[in-house]
């Protein structure tokens, strides 16, 4: 699974050269902690994952992936943290699909 993620990351970012935002060690650490602490209660609308009232962007390829969704934040997490976020997103999507099936 990580290999597929990495291939998509390389394709979307040209080996990390086309990021819109620079890396932030502080944001990377905060996002890792949010995923670990609030991953079980996270929600998604397909555009953001919400972790403890903090919205994290998950659309438009990996060049903007993992960005804190606010007008003033301009930083990105590490590739490994993006992968953790992607795994959380996949789990949330799977749970949503199951909930949708159960309501039919």
pLDDT at 79 (0 to 100): 85
- Taking only the tens place, the pLDDT of each residue in 54-103 is 999 888 766 677 888 776 667 888 889 989 999 999 999 998 887 777 77
pLDDT at 56 (0 to 100): 93
Task: List Cα–Cα distances, 37 to 30, 41, 59, 95, in angstroms.
Answer: 10, 9, 22, 19
- Taking only the tens place, the pLDDT of each residue in 17-28 is 556 677 889 999
Put simply, whether the predicted model's pTM sits higher than 0.85 gets the answer no
């Amino acid at each position: 699974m990580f290999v597929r993620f990495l291939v998509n990351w390389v394709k979307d970012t040209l080996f990390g050269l086309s990021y819109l935002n620079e890396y932030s060690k502080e944001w990377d650490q905060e996002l890792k902690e949010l995923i670990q602490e609030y991953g079980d209660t996270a929600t998604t609308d397909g555009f953001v994952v919400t972790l403890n009232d903090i919205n994290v962007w998950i659309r438009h390829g990996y060049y903007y992936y993992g960005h804190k969704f606010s007008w003033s934040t301009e930083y990105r997490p590490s590739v490994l943290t993006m992968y953790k976020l992607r795994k959380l997103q996949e789990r949330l999507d799977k749970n949503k699909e199951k909930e949708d099936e159960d309501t039919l």
